[in-house]
Amino acid sequence: MQFKRVSLQSIGKVFNPTYSGYALIAMCSALVVACGGGAGDNGIVVSGTAATGAPMQNASVSMRCVSGSATGVTDSTGKFSVYAINAVAPCVLEASNSITKLHSVVGAGSNNAVANVTPLTEQLVANLDSSAVDTAAFFNSFDASKASLLSSSSIATAQTAVLTSLASAGVNTAGITDLIKAPLVPRNGTQAGNAYDQLLDTVAATPVVVKLIALNDFHGNFQEPSLTNGGTVTLANGASTKSVSVGGAAYIASALNSLRAANPNNITVGAGDLMAASPFASAINHDESTVDILSQMGVEVSSVGNHEFDRGITELKRIQNGGCYPAGYGQGVVGVDTCLQTGGTFAGARYKYLAANVTDTATGKPVLPATYIKRFGTVSVGFIGLTFRGTVNSVGAGGVAGLRFDDEATVINTYANKLKAQGVTAVAVLIHQGGQTTASTFADPTCPGFSGDITAILNQLNSSVDLVVSGHTHQEYVCNFPSTSAGKNILLTSTGFYGQALSEINLTLKPGTGLVSASARTVPVIKNISANTSTPLPAGFSAFDKDSTIDALVTRYTNLSTTAGQVVVGSVTGDIKRALLSNGTLDQTNESALANLIADSYLTGVPGFTADVAFVNPGSVRADILSTVSGKTTGTVLYSELATIEPFGNTLMSLNLTGAQIARLLEEQWEAPNHTAKTNPAAGTVGRILGVSSGFTYTYNNAAAAGAAKGSGARVDSSSIRINGAALDPTRVYKVVTNSYMATGTAPDNFTIMATQGTNKVDTKMLDLDAFIAYFRANANVASPAARVTRLN
């Protein structure tokens, strides 16, 4: 037996650190002789060979046992021997060089053991338990609490799984039945290796095709999306086109089953915004329904998107880990809007959310895992999940408070190198950032005219990255992006939005070699209904039936949302509407009665809270209150209506402004660039008119020039500004309430005064929707507010 330099250490045991490595080798050798080939009563000797086919030469070998540890180095033939004094098995082994990192195990009761370290023992370790799939992490965290995972039966079961997977892949195992202890002689120069080594060569040369199925920007659309908003896609049909209806979780599940049936080596992944900004049926239960459905559809891992942070990190962790929504303000009622699963529970997402670039600023630690590893027999794929850095500016302050969003490319490169060093065969990035093509039909494989924010990221990635699954832009594409930094084409996919399609991605991988080839196509989730199939679908496309299990779940959650949404929360004397353009779309350039009413709810909706004035950005008001609507009693206001009007989950924040600052805030309504952001040519009005609370009035001159530079607008008659009848005092400090979107950032909707000059900011933690509900519960027969803004000219 040849020995290289061996270093020893002991955890919690007496050890003389003055021993040199070579002296210890001598001691170890003596022990081998004295004990008849074994270690002493208080130590463990483990010897073996580390090889991938070729020997792992001069590789570092580390051993961690239930008690005790040791390190060593392999020789030129891959052989090693390590000795841990005062150690107790079972143990895990790690052999690593600059190229790869492999693991193995030593069962309990062994103090003189043989343990090879090979790609097959790596696979064995990964099969021990779900917590061992990330073998490097398993090794690093191994302690007595995980000893049970290394029982002889567990090891045998894991080994059987490896041998079975080899057999199913058509690999002849040549009689090798003990992957840990079988004699292993790697090839050396012209000398061929033995049977085990030849098995490793065969495995290394045998490609494995892995299928990734991806979706993004689902936004809780488990019901079939509206045909005019995500529910239709246009396919090329020869020289013509054909529009088909798509989406709905029951159809998606069927499409998933179909794709999975083609290859058992598959995984379903997401690229963020799977929930939030959702239809009422999902929003009413804080997206618990969506999470349950996606879990039961078999989604396994997803990046976070910006919308996953809409309700803050605490809520996102609840979505991941389970538990009921906090009770209060009529919400958090078990069985109504939360904990809708058996026994009044919510188990959380079965899939793992990844957030590699999101850190808790208080602790400096990641808020969610950064990576996820999936093994497919002899190969593995490491996933890195993250959202775009600008998430911090696209979500209300309450959603991202205390979080840091780091540079995407830097984070990806760091983890990609780490995953490759850990030995994963390929690295896939799940990122909530994307681009756009100029394709005019769905599933155009040519990726024409690709552009967008993700291109800068792709051109900073290193060569460790093999695939990028993207989202955010609601576009569909499959591109081979020529990354200048990686020096290769990187496959890039996105599926559109609301579950209208899936990306089918096929990776051909070889152990030890990595990605051999990659291809992808977009599979639209075409419903198998006569409207789609009465004329033939274009070649290459299929329609899907509903999956009955998921369909039943969709029905159940739809019925629950119907019950919850029917709750009457108030009453009105007539319609209360936003300002509307002649074509019926939102007019932000004129005063909105509904925005004013919402401002009233800001002012009075927080119990025990008082302020002088409230402001509401008109773009945050998403629908009107109509007194008479089919399906409800005239004059009533339903929970579902208010949830539709205020869907963003903003919290209410207070801040202090001087009277002069309030006057400047009003001028920002028309200062550049707001004067061109919103226009109403018919009325001759421009800008964004804030909703203001009761008692706040002012007059402005619409004939005065708009578009002045920041700080120089002069449309408001400053003497006209009144708060409860009193003239605005430029020097007095007023307490203002607005939503968290407007109170933070740098220039939300081009307003800067509140966000950047407001002082003593306090997040009330009160959701705007909750305040609106509270307002209606406190005030019966609410009427449309009278005008509070006087427009001259």
Partner 1 sequence: MRSIFLSLLLLGLAGHSPAGLAAGAPALDAAKAAALHDAAAQAQDKCFKEMYRDPNAYGLCIRELSRAQTAQSVEQLGVLYFGFVGALSYMRVSQAGATPLANEFLKSFRALQKAKGISDTELCASVPGNCELRIGQTLAMERAAPMAPAKSLIPVCKAGVCRLEGQ
Give contact residues for partner 1 (rule: CB under 8 A).
Answer: 226-234, 236, 239-241, 279-281, 436-442, 444, 446, 448-449, 451-453, 472-476, 496-497, 500, 558, 561-563, 565-566, 580, 582-586, 622-624, 626, 629-632, 638, 640-641, 643-645, 676-679
When the beta carbons of 471 and 659 are compared against partner 1, the nearer one is 471
Q: Is 478 helix (H, G, I), strand (E, B) or coil?
A: strand
Residue 641 phi/psi, 5° resolution? -70, -45
Distance CA 241, CA 235 (A): 5
When the beta carbons of 281 and 379 are compared against partner 1, the nearer one is 281
Q: Which helix (H) or strand (E) holds 483?
A: strand 476-483
Distance CA 543, CA 528 (A): 5
When the beta carbons of 183 and 335 are compared against partner 1, the nearer one is 335
**Residue ranges of E strands in 204-332:** 208-215, 232-237, 240-245, 266-270, 299-303
Distance CA 552, CA 250 (A): 8
Classify burial at 459, counting beta carbons within 10 Å of its beta carbon; exposed 0-12, middle 13-18, buried 19 or more. Answer: middle
Sequence-separated (6 or more) residues with CB below 8 Å from residue 288: 319, 325, 338, 339, 340, 341, 346
Question: Which residue carries 């103090």 as its tokens?
Answer: 111
Question: Which residue carries 């075409």 as its tokens?
Answer: 526
Look at the alpha carbons of 424, 428, 430, 433 in this order and tell me if their dihedral is positive or negative: positive
When the beta carbons of 471 and 511 are compared against partner 1, the nearer one is 471
Distance CA 50, CA 45 (A): 16
Question: How much is the CA Rg of the chain, to the nearest whole Å?
Answer: 32
When the beta carbons of 215 and 606 are compared against partner 1, the nearer one is 215
In the complex, minimum distance from the CB of residue 266 to partner 1, in angstroms, rounded to a whole number: 25
In the complex, minimum distance from the CB of residue 403 to partner 1, in angstroms, rounded to a whole number: 21
When the beta carbons of 236 and 356 are compared against partner 1, the nearer one is 236
In the complex, minimum distance from the CB of residue 451 to partner 1, in angstroms, rounded to a whole number: 6
Look at the alpha carbons of 127, 133, 137, 143 in this order and tell me if their dihedral is positive or negative: negative
CA nearest 102: which of 1, 210, 21, 184? Answer: 184
In the complex, minimum distance from the CB of residue 305 to partner 1, in angstroms, rounded to a whole number: 13
In the complex, minimum distance from the CB of residue 533 to partner 1, in angstroms, rounded to a whole number: 19
In the complex, minimum distance from the CB of residue 531 to partner 1, in angstroms, rounded to a whole number: 14
When the beta carbons of 516 and 672 are compared against partner 1, the nearer one is 672
In the complex, minimum distance from the CB of residue 588 to partner 1, in angstroms, rounded to a whole number: 9
- Is beta strand 426-432 parallel, antiparallel or unpaired with respect to 467-469? parallel
In the complex, minimum distance from the CB of residue 235 to partner 1, in angstroms, rounded to a whole number: 9
When the beta carbons of 378 and 473 are compared against partner 1, the nearer one is 473
In the complex, minimum distance from the CB of residue 398 to partner 1, in angstroms, rounded to a whole number: 21
In the complex, minimum distance from the CB of residue 458 to partner 1, in angstroms, rounded to a whole number: 15
Where do the H-state alpha helices sit in 515-571? 530-533, 548-565
In the complex, minimum distance from the CB of residue 708 to partner 1, in angstroms, rounded to a whole number: 17
Q: Is 639 helix (H, G, I), strand (E, B) or coil?
A: helix
**How many angstroms separate the Cα of 216 from the Cα of each of 30, 244, 274, 623, 634?**
62, 20, 6, 26, 39
When the beta carbons of 472 and 510 are compared against partner 1, the nearer one is 472
3-state helix, strand, coil in the chain (%, to 5): 25, 30, 45
How many Å separate Cα 557 from the centre of its chain? Answer: 23
In the complex, minimum distance from the CB of residue 263 to partner 1, in angstroms, rounded to a whole number: 27
Classify burial at 21, counting beta carbons within 10 Å of its beta carbon; exposed 0-12, middle 13-18, buried 19 or more. Answer: middle
Look at the alpha carbons of 700, 703, 704, 708 in this order and tell me if their dihedral is positive or negative: positive
In the complex, minimum distance from the CB of residue 77 to partner 1, in angstroms, rounded to a whole number: 54
How many Å separate Cα 330 from the centre of its chain? Answer: 29
Eight-state DSSP code of residue 36: T
Give the number of other Cβ atoms within 10 Å of residue 217's Cβ. 28
Buried b vs exposed e over 287-306: b needs ≥16 C-beta within 10 Å? bbbbbbbbeebbbbbbbbbb
Give the number of other Cβ atoms within 10 Å of residue 285's Cβ. 26
Distance CA 211, CA 213 (A): 6
In the complex, minimum distance from the CB of residue 501 to partner 1, in angstroms, rounded to a whole number: 9
CB 370 within 8 A of CB 384: yes
In the complex, minimum distance from the CB of residue 246 to partner 1, in angstroms, rounded to a whole number: 9
In the complex, minimum distance from the CB of residue 226 to partner 1, in angstroms, rounded to a whole number: 6
In the complex, minimum distance from the CB of residue 788 to partner 1, in angstroms, rounded to a whole number: 23
**How many angstroms separate the Cα of 423 from the Cα of each of 26, 52, 162?**
33, 11, 17
When the beta carbons of 750 and 764 are compared against partner 1, the nearer one is 750
When the beta carbons of 32 and 274 are compared against partner 1, the nearer one is 274
Query: Around 240, how many Cα atoms within 13 Å sit in the side-chain half-sphere?
Result: 4
- Using CA atoms in the order 117, 118, 119, 125, what is the torsion angle rounded to 10 degrees? -30
Q: Is 438 helix (H, G, I), strand (E, B) or coil?
A: coil
Eight-state DSSP code of residue 166: H
When the beta carbons of 94 and 504 are compared against partner 1, the nearer one is 504
Q: Which helix (H) or strand (E) holds 544?
A: strand 543-544
Distance CA 458, CA 388 (A): 13
When the beta carbons of 428 and 564 are compared against partner 1, the nearer one is 564
CB 609 within 8 A of CB 783: no
In the complex, minimum distance from the CB of residue 572 to partner 1, in angstroms, rounded to a whole number: 13
When the beta carbons of 134 and 668 are compared against partner 1, the nearer one is 668
